[in-house]
Amino acid sequence: MSTRALRLLGSALIGYGLAGTVLLAVLVGMVAPPLDEVAELADSVGEQRSAALEALDEAATTARETAIAVRNVDSSLAQARAATDRAAGLSAGVGRSMRELAAAMAIDVFGIQPLIGLAPSFETSAGNLDLLAGDLTAIGLALEGSRTDSQTVAAGMDDLAGAIGDLRASVAASPDLSQAVAALEPLRVGLLALLAWLLVAALGCVVAGFACWWASRQPERGARLD
């Protein structure tokens, strides 16, 4: 091969090798960091997924415990309502008895009413007992309204616990990115190995190009020696 042809071949090989080296170096710089970031992202998502599941478990437990506590309050309110109803009934009954006693104070003994002076106090007591019965009835109605509200709150907390449970199941069923990243690891290693192999080939072209230049100078050196 002539000296000119060797130099042209050497220049082409050097240019091709240098271009390939630069290109492959850029590709390695572009591919390696994103793959590392994907692995870090998978770890971060896994940690956040675990934290979310734990938070949802705590929220569901709190909702259920709140519903139980509200139902216990409802039971207490029911007992209080029953007690006030009984007290109201007793007050009304005693009030009626007081009025009957007040009427009995008007008894006439030989034209004289010796107990008539006690009648007003019995009437007053009867009126007070009627007022007490009315107040107790109003309290019972208020307790019943509170029971209705507490039952609504308890039902709402049950619904909330159910919704949180469904959300937890959905989060738990979501794909685990760590497994996907583990599956990509052989591809990552293979891709980097391929890029490294191509880089070595590009550097080999550069070396071969310089070898062609060196070979092209040998006839000149031999001519000078002659």
Domain ranges of the chain: 3-225
The pLDDT of residue 57 is above 80: yes
Taking residues 158-186, report their average pLDDT.
73
Nearest in space to 9 (alpha carbons), one of 163, 129, 74, 1: 1
Nearest in space to 2 (alpha carbons), one of 221, 216, 196, 180: 216
The pLDDT of residue 135 is above 70: yes
The pLDDT of residue 176 is above 80: no
The confidence band for 94, taking pLDDT boundaries of 50, 70 and 90, is: confident
Structure tokens at 91: 């007050």
pLDDT at 221: 45
Least confident of 11-15, 70-74, 104-108, 208-212: 104-108
| Mean pLDDT rounded to a whole number for the chain | 75
- Three-state SS at 226: coil
DSSP string, 170-192: HHHTS--HHHHHHHHHHHHHHHH
- Are 7 and 213 within 8 A, CB to CB? yes
pLDDT at 175: 63
User: In angstroms, what CA-CA distances link 64 with 55, 111, 144?
Assistant: 14, 75, 23
The pLDDT of residue 42 is above 70: no
Amino acid at 1: M
pLDDT at 179: 63
Query: Bigger pLDDT: 129 or 41?
Result: 129
Q: Which fold has domain 3-225?
A: Helix Hairpins (1.10.287)
The tokens 């994907």 sit on which residue? 38
Stated pTM of the model:
0.49
The pLDDT of residue 224 is above 50: no
The pLDDT of residue 183 is above 70: no
Query: Bigger pLDDT: 16 or 105?
Result: 16
pLDDT at 89: 84
Taking residues 23-33, report their average pLDDT.
76
Taking residues 197-214, report their average pLDDT.
81
